[in-house]
Amino acid sequence: MQRFDLDQDRLPPGAEILFYDPGVWEEYWAAILLAFPIILLQSSTIIGLGVLEKRRRRAAAELAQQRAEVARLSRVSQLGELSGAIAHELKQPLTSILMNAESGRALLRQSPPDLREIAEILEDIANDDRRAAGVIDNLRKLLGEGAPDFQPVELNDVVRATLRLIRSELIARSVRTDLKLCEAALIATGNAEQLQQVLLNLIFNATDGMADQPRKTRRISIETTLRTDGMREVSVTDTGPGLPEAVRDAAFQPFVTTKAHGMGLGLSISRTIAEAHGGQLHVDGAASKTRAILALPAP
Ligand SMILES: Nc1ncnc2c1ncn2[C@@H]1O[C@H](COP(=O)(O)OP(=O)(O)OP(=O)(O)O)[C@@H](O)[C@H]1O
Ligand SMILES: [Mg+2]
């Protein structure tokens, strides 16, 4: 009544008021008509987003798989390219096994033979054999799906272990070695075999560089330090002639060598290893001596 502005008193007597209850449709038809396309739009948006998300996930999975495959193939091709490197890394232990076996034979001819010396030589041979096996092992890991084994390594230990391996070779080449190891343990995350490989390459470069100078002047200094920026540094400095002018800018490129029997791979392999450890390898050879610096990040 209120709605139609009618006064109750003005109704004729006997008039009956009947109420009509409109249905939901009648009352809300406009809202329903408006809501319907909105709901339709929203559901199609949700379905669309779901499909897009599914596609995105599938694409991401495919991309990850492709990346892994590319990474594996690039490792394989790197190894293909570096087939020389395999020979290079195996040549060192094999040469020293041969040298040690020959010295052992010479010692056996003495009478009486120096059994202690012979025992040491046999130990060296066993160590070199393990090193060769380690090289093959690492290459296999590099070729496989997984990354090479990275663990906490103590760099002073790596230096000592490397020197133990080539002790007899350094003596044979009349090279004196000074060790300046930092007193605290110098821990980095890495692969001890590969880091040894880097050190061996640097030490052999140093000794090769000094081969033509008088025996008394052939010296290598190996130093380990914890830098103020947290990097762990291992350096090999020699008293040789410095990097030859011809290779000064290209020493790290594969197959660049000034040696008759060099492969020119030592520095390039070593830098690859350093970078795989998140570190760097530099050689400062402008002066009359060469200093190679390996820097590795904190674990
Ligand atoms: N300590 C050094 N003193 C003088 N020259 C060096 C030194 N280190 C590297 N070089 C120069 O850099 C070149 C490249 O070194 P790298 O170790 O890559 O190859 P290589 O020693 O010639 O051969 P490989 O290591 O494969 O047997 C060497 O041929 C040499 O001329
Ligand atoms: Mg070399």
Which ligand 1 atom sits closest to the C-alpha of 206?
A: 1
CA pair distance 137, 146, nearest whole angstrom: 13
Whether residue 119 sits in one domain with residue 22: no
User: Is 186 among the domain residues?
Assistant: yes
pLDDT in tens, 94-150: 998 999 999 999 999 998 989 999 999 999 999 999 988 887 877 776 665 555 678
pLDDT in tens, 173-209: 899 999 999 999 999 999 888 898 899 889 999 999 9
Q: Which residue has the higher pLDDT, 215 or 85?
A: 215
Does 257 score more than 80 pLDDT? yes
Ligand 1 residue neighbourhood (C-beta within 6 Å)? 88, 201, 205-206, 209, 238, 240, 243-244, 247, 251, 256-259, 262-268, 285, 290
Task: Specify the number of domains making up the chain.
Answer: 2
AA identity, residue 30: A
For residues 170-175, give the mean pLDDT.
89
Give the C-alpha distances (Å, rounded to integers) separating 188 from 24, 28, 163, 193. 75, 73, 19, 13
Q: Which residue has the higher pLDDT, 290 or 140?
A: 290
Q: What was the pLDDT predicted at 73?
A: 61
Whether residue 201 sits in one domain with residue 111: yes
User: Is 8 among the domain residues?
Assistant: no
By C-alpha distance, which of 252, 246, 248 is closest to 274?
252
Whether residue 195 sits in one domain with residue 69: no
Q: Cβ(94)–Cβ(132) under 8 Å?
A: yes
User: Is 191 among the domain residues?
Assistant: yes
Whether residue 123 sits in one domain with residue 267: yes
The owner of tokens 């290209």 is 250
Q: Is 232 helix (H, G, I), strand (E, B) or coil?
A: strand
Which ligand 1 atom sits closest to the C-alpha of 264?
A: 19
User: Is 233 among the domain residues?
Assistant: yes
Does 280 score more than 80 pLDDT? yes
> Which among 80, 107, 128 is the end of a domain?
80
Closest protein CA for atom 7 of ligand 1: 205
Backbone φ and ψ for 20, nearest 5 degrees, come out as: -115, 120
> Which among 46, 62, 80 is the end of a domain?
80
State the chain's mean pLDDT as an integer: 86
Q: Which domain holds residue 37?
A: 15-80
Ligand nearest to the CA of 246: 1
Which ligand 1 atom sits closest to the C-alpha of 84?
A: 26
Closest protein CA for atom 9 of ligand 1: 205
Q: Is 177 helix (H, G, I), strand (E, B) or coil?
A: strand
Whether residue 219 sits in one domain with residue 97: yes
Whether residue 89 sits in one domain with residue 226: yes
Q: If you ran DSSP here, which 8-state letter would residue 110 be given?
A: S
pLDDT in tens, 43-98: 999 999 999 999 999 988 887 777 666 666 655 655 555 566 677 778 888 998 99
CA pair distance 3, 75, nearest whole angstrom: 85
CA pair distance 266, 191, nearest whole angstrom: 17
The tokens describing 164, both together, are 């133990």
**Cα 267 to middle of ligand 1, angstroms:** 7
Q: How confident is the model at residue 22 (pLDDT cuts 50, 70, 90)?
A: confident
Q: What was the pLDDT predicted at 186?
A: 96
By C-alpha distance, which of 123, 125, 105, 102 is closest to 113?
105
**Cα 34 to middle of ligand 1, angstroms:** 80
C-alpha dihedral sign at 242, 245, 249, 253: negative
Q: Cβ(224)–Cβ(185) under 8 Å?
A: no
**Cα 117 to middle of ligand 1, angstroms:** 33
Helix (H) / strand (E) containing 152: strand 151-154
CATH of the domain at 91: 3.30.565.10
Q: How confident is the model at residue 287 (pLDDT cuts 50, 70, 90)?
A: confident
Q: Cβ(176)–Cβ(116) under 8 Å?
A: no
